[in-house]
Amino acid sequence: MTTVDLAAETLGNGGLGGRQAWLASTEVQAELAGATLKFREPKTSRMAKEANDFRRIGNSILRKDCEAKGILVRTLSIVDARAWAAAAVLDGVLATDEWPLRLVTRRADVDDDGNKLALFSSIDLVHLLEQAGAMTSPQRVDLMRSWKLAGEALHREADEDYRRLFGEDPPDAQAEIAHKA
The band of 181, judged by pLDDT with boundaries at 50, 70 and 90, is very low
Task: Find the mean pLDDT for residues 96-123.
Answer: 88
CB contact set of 20 (below 8 Å; sequence gap of 6+): 10
Q: Where in the chain are the domains?
A: 1-38, 40-119, 122-180
Phi, psi of 179 (to 5 degrees): -70, -30
pLDDT over 70 at 50, yes or no: yes
pLDDT at residue 16 in the model: 64
Q: Distance (Å, rounded) from C-alpha 123 to C-alpha 152?
A: 12
The band of 176, judged by pLDDT with boundaries at 50, 70 and 90, is low
Lowest mean pLDDT among 8-22, 53-67, 84-98: 8-22
**What's the Cα-to-Cα distance from 148 to each of 99, 153, 154, 159, 175, rounded to whole Å?**
17, 8, 9, 11, 10
Lowest mean pLDDT among 36-40, 80-84, 93-97, 156-160: 36-40
Closest-CA residue to 83 (of 156, 4, 155, 152): 4
Phi, psi of 126 (to 5 degrees): -65, -40
Burial class (CB in 10 A: 0-12, 13-18, 19+), 39: middle
Task: Find the mean pLDDT for residues 106-123.
Answer: 85
pLDDT at residue 30 in the model: 85
Task: Find the mean pLDDT for residues 160-173.
Answer: 93
Contact 72, 66 (CB under 8 A): yes
The size of the chain, in residues, is: 181
CB contact set of 38 (below 8 Å; sequence gap of 6+): none
